[in-house]
Amino acid sequence: MTPTAPTGRADGAFGRALTALLAISALAGFGAAAADPSSDARPPLRTLEPQSGATLYGVEIIVFRASSVVATEDWGALPAGRGFGGSATRGGASAQVMRVLAPSDYRLNTIEATLKTSGAWRPVAHAAWIQSAANWGTHAGIALTDVGINVPGLTGMVYLERAPIYLHLGFDVHLSLGATYTIKEMRSVRYNDKQYFDHPAFGILAVVTPIKHTEGAATP
């Protein structure tokens, strides 16, 4: 398995529709958030490094579902494990949650509000936390319950792995809406770049932020 270059946002009609919705939100004023220190564009959070000296990352996710799910459509027949390759290929340090953040520290509140008012999507869960990254290829994830997500019907794992060049973010998340739908995908990501992991029935919006230390910000 070879690290992949950053791919940006998810493809597909679901992802394109979400991108269009968020673009409209930006035109309505979300783009001005960079000038507001209390907005979604706040500078990276500051915290102490763990004793191991591992680099820390802020991760924030919004899980949302489609308002209308057609039960007769076979949405479970999607490529499995996109980007995960085979089973774990390396040993090494596992990811560790250092701190779960309070809602007052969320940066994606504007986007969550946009989803709520869109009529097309319904937010299911919103969480943010600070963690270390596992070695790339270990597939040593963090359970949703470990970052404060306890939503009936929503289960799964979040993976943050550091390769020599790229940082990889992945999800193996399942949402039960009568039927059970799954997002299982890992991709390389850039800092502060919003990523859309999409499925016709639900999606995950995520962003990874480097945590600044006294010597300066972490670099990918």
- Taking residues 16-37, report their average pLDDT: 45
Q: What is the pTM of this model?
A: 0.75
Does 5 fall in a domain?
A: no
Does 217 fall in a domain?
A: no
- Taking residues 73-79, report their average pLDDT: 54
Does 40 fall in a domain?
A: yes
Q: What is the pLDDT of residue 214?
A: 41
pLDDT digits (tens, 9 = 90+) for 173-207: 999 988 889 999 999 999 999 999 988 889 999 99
The number of angstroms, rounded, from the C-alpha of 149 to the middle of its chain's C-alpha atoms is: 13
How many CA atoms within 13 Å lie on the side-chain side of 174? 11
Does 1 fall in a domain?
A: no
Q: What is the pLDDT of residue 103?
A: 96
Does 6 fall in a domain?
A: no
Q: What is the pLDDT of residue 163?
A: 84
List the structure tokens of 77. 């027949």
- Taking residues 65-69, report their average pLDDT: 82
pLDDT digits (tens, 9 = 90+) for 120-165: 889 999 999 999 999 888 888 999 999 999 999 999 999 999 988 8
Does 59 fall in a domain?
A: yes
Does 205 fall in a domain?
A: yes
Does 8 fall in a domain?
A: no
Q: What is the pLDDT of residue 122?
A: 92
Domain that residue 141 falls in: 13-210
Domain count, the chain: 1
First to last CA, the chain: 19
Which residues lie below 8 Å from residue 10, measured CB to CB, with a gap of 6+? Answer: 195, 196, 197, 198, 203
